[in-house]
A and B are shown apart, each in its own frame.
Chain A
Amino acid sequence: MLEVFIFATLNGLVTGLLLFMLASGLTLIFSMMGVLNFAHASFYMLGAYFAYSISLYMGFWMGLIFAPLIVGVLGALVERYGLRRVHKSGHVAELVFTFGLAFLIEESVQFFWGPTTKNYQYPDILDFPLFTLFGQEFSAYRGFMIAISMGIFIGLYRVLTHSRIGIIIQAAITHPHTVSNLGHNVPQIFMGVFGVGTALAALAGVIAGPVLTTFPGMAVVLGSIVFVIVVIGGLGSLAGAFIASLLIGLLQSYAIASDVGMPDLLNLLGLSFERSHPLNDLWTVTLPQIAPILPYLLLVLVLIFRPTGLLGKREE
């Protein structure tokens, strides 16, 4: 029991931290421009694909450095020539634009790389068990994922709270006009934040690609979960996004690892139903089965009872 719990916790931590790398960029972009970027997970996918292509010629480590840079520049270009243009037409148009962008990126990935799964591997140097616990191995690559994401979280937090550029960004979120009057180029700051946000998503893609497989549907798989996290954590709150990421990561991990379900609950209550009952599916459902829908259930509940999210301040 204990070993299951410990490994579920570790796996939940890996997923949660990975999700945070996506959620942090998304929530930063939202607090700046007030727009939820539907294409955010698509940049994550682009990161994985670029890293795969680079790794074929120059190895994994070059991909780790250059893929996020390329995607970050792409993201900045999208902001400069796409989003800024659509901004005039209002928030709905912006949301719809990013929605269309996600669609287009998925199709483009299929166009350039094909519809099949890519054999993107992590480097041999990280291919060893980090430690063995209760006879189970915990791979070094997962440890590496935890290290990178923790590093990003701490670095991002330091930059935003302790550096000059971080202070300007924070000020631009709440008082864009004042910041502009003080002589800073606010649109350029927005472009920079969008670029860095997409680069972070790409970095998550680079390190997640080998573990979660690199295929054209990988953006869809993670996309809506990241949305859920940002909303549950409170739109625009970095700390909220961190908590929500870990919460969702651990929740899903525990649900999958557990082996309880409705039959156990019914046994506990002393109830039983025949197999031919029309609601048979409902009486036999197990917790691992419903693990994929738990985040959405949580999202709907949070939005009904606390629309601002866990740590959010504003509603709109």
Chain B
Amino acid sequence: MGLVKKLAVWIGYLVALLALPLFFDSILAISIFNQMAIAIVFALSYNMLLGQGGMLSFGHAVYFGLGGFLAVHTLILIESETVYFSIILIPIIGGVIGLLMGVFIGSFSTRKAGTVFAMISLGIGELIAASSLIFYSFFGGEAGISGDRTFGPMFFGIDFARDVQIYYVAAVWVFIATVFMYLFTQTPAGRMANAVRDNPERAEFIGYSARKVRFISFCASGLFAGIAGGLFALNYEFITEENLNAATSGRVLLMAYIGGLGYFIGPIIGAVVLTLMNSLLSNYSQLWMLYLGIMFLLTVMFLPRGFAGFIMMHELAWVRGKLRNLALPYLITSIPTVFFVLACVAMIEMSHADEEVFHYLGMELNPAAVMTWLITAVIAAASLFAIRKSLPQLREAWDSANAIADDEEG
């Protein structure tokens, strides 16, 4: 890819980030964008560990949370005029704390990758989450601590009272963080992280210390997680123990994995999709966490390389101009799939509906009637049968789209 093309991608990214509030300007949309911005930085920082460095962490929220806590404490200090500091630089505070924690914890946890690393990260995560409830004056117990972002020096007359103003701050930070995390993958340290992930023995053999390489990735990852924590503090103006416990660590793993670990853009996709699901689905159904769990397991089982991996599977067909030939087979399979999913969702929701009449896709279903259940079950079974019937034609189309490409190469 030429330099111009590469730059165009980045400029497009920046424009998209800055232009989003112009198209969607409701309060809900802005709040979702802010959550996305935080999630993108956090998920990308996690991918630095797991995707690029091969270190599976179950305690990444520690760096996010501690960065956030220090950021809120800084907000409090600004409010009481103890320090004079512009709030747009708050993410730096979070980043520095994340980096310092990374240096400290990385100094002993990066000796080994694999299970040992995963277990140390789990232990430290639980240790800090549990300590946060004990040390009340710093962490504020279960209620957490809160600040106010409207104090301190104004930025060209903006006081950041509104969420959309914070969105622009977050967008700039997201852009800067993404650029630097991408550049990191291009440095020798980033390249060596991949080498150590794939074969630490070989990397050691040509003279690199696997531990040192891991340590560098680990610290950088802590830095960006801390920046994400700082953004969180700016957006919500409060932070609680929940932001550094295992649930948050689990969520970031989910985002990065669903998006696709092997690709730089993967965690961005994961962060966007999961934040959207989180905010939109939770309006419609109380059971959205159940759907999320099902989706996650299906992704791990059938799309081991995540959404990004699924998209990249079509690269060959795209290059050969055969993507068109796949459109119809995909359509044929997707129609019964949609029916199957909708029927299953209807059954799951009906079993939990309290009212006499259950409104679903403009229809009025009666959860108490046997007939309703029978019909949905029949639809589900019939569409499952149709999916199975349609799979061979999809596979055939897939094979022909890729196989002819092989001939041309050979």
Interface residue? B293 (CB, 8 A): yes
Residues in A neighbouring B238, C-beta threshold 8 A: none
Quick one: given A97-B297, A224-B126, A285-B134, are A89 and B304 in contact (CB under 8 Å)?
yes
CB pairs A–B below 8 angstroms (23 shown): A36-B118, A82-B297, A82-B301, A85-B301, A92-B54, A95-B118, A96-B257, A97-B300, A100-B254, A101-B297, A107-B289, A107-B292, A107-B293, A111-B348, A220-B246, A278-B137, A281-B138, A290-B134, A292-B130, A293-B127, A293-B130, A316-B112, A316-B115
A228 to B118 alpha-carbon distance, docked (Å): 12
> Is A96's CB under 8 angstroms from B253's CB?
yes
Does B124 have its Cβ within 8 Å of any Cβ on chain A? yes
A6, CB-defined interface residue at 8 Å: no
Interchain nearest-CB distance for B367 vs A (Å): 15
Say which size band chain B's interface belongs to: 35 or more
Name B's interface SS.
Answer: helix
Instruction: Tell me if B342 counts as interface (CB < 8 A to partner A).
Output: no
A108 CB to closest chain B CB (Å) equals 7
Contact of A303 among B123, B250, B289, B304 (CB under 8 A): B123
Whether A104 pairs with B293 at a CB distance below 8 angstroms is: yes
Q: Whose C-beta in chain A lies nearest to the C-beta of B251?
A: A103
Contact of A36 with B115 at beta-carbon distance under 8 Å, contacts A92-B50, A289-B134 already known: yes
Q: Shortest 4 CB-CB distances between A and B: which pairs? A: A104-B293, A89-B304, A299-B123, A293-B130
Q: Does A66 contact B (CB under 8 A)?
A: no
The interface residues of chain B lying within 8 Å CB-to-CB of A111 are 287, 290, 348, 352
Inside 8 A of B134's CB, which chain A residues have their CB?
281, 285, 289-290, 293
Asked, given contacts A111-B352, A278-B137, A296-B127, whether A303 binds B297 with beta carbons under 8 Å apart, the answer is no
New contact pairs (9) apart from A91-B114, A224-B122, CB-CB < 8 Å:
A36-B115, A92-B56, A93-B300, A95-B118, A99-B250, A104-B296, A111-B348, A296-B130, A316-B116
Q: How many CB-defined contacts (below 8 Å) exist between A and B?
A: 111
> Which of A93, A96, A227, A231 gathers the greatest number of chain B CB atoms within 10 Å?
A96
Contact with B along A278-316 (1 / 0, CB 8 A): 101110010001101100110110011001000000011
Query: Chain A contacts of B123 at CB under 8 A?
Result: 228, 296, 299-300, 303
Q: Which residue of chain A has the shortest Cβ distance to B135 in the bound complex?
A: A281
Contacts of B111 in A (CB 8 A): 307
Q: Does B103 contact A (CB under 8 A)?
A: no
| B54 partner residues in chain A, CB cutoff 8 A | 92
A275 CA / B119 CA spacing, docked (Å): 37
Select A100's contact among B112, B119, B296, B304, beta carbons within 8 Å: B296
B108 within 8 A of A: yes
Given A82, A104, A220, A304, which contacts B108 in the complex, CB threshold below 8 Å?
Answer: A304
Q: Which of A86-118 contact B (CB under 8 A)?
A: 86, 88-89, 91-93, 95-97, 99-101, 103-104, 107-108, 110-111
List of B residues within 8 angstroms of A200 by Cβ: none
Q: Chain B residues with Cβ under 8 A from A8's Cβ?
A: none
A205 CB, min distance to chain B CBs, angstroms: 20
Which among A88, A95, A100, A303 has the greatest number of chain B C-beta atoms within 10 A?
A: A100
Is the CB–CB distance between A97 and B301 below 8 Å?
yes
Whether B115 lies near A235 (C-beta < 8 A) is yes
Interface centre among B119, B136, B296, by most chain A C-beta atoms within 10 angstroms, is B119
Q: What sequence of 0s and 1s flags, for each residue 274-314 of chain B, a beta carbon within 8 Å of any chain A beta carbon? A: 00000000000001011011101100110010000000000
B210 to chain A, nearest CB (A): 14
In the bound complex, what is the Cα–Cα distance between A285 and B135 (angstroms)? 8
Tell me the B119-144 residues at the A interface (CB within 8 Å). Answer: 119-120, 122-124, 126-127, 130-131, 134-138
Chain B positions within 8 Å of A97 at CB level: 297, 300-301
Taking a contact as CB atoms under 8 Å apart, the answer to whether B114 and A316 are in contact is yes
Q: Does A300 contact B301, Cβ atoms closer than 8 Å?
A: no
Q: Which residues of B contact A282 (CB under 8 A)?
A: 135
Note all chain A residues with C-beta closer than 8 A to B293: 100, 103-104, 107-108
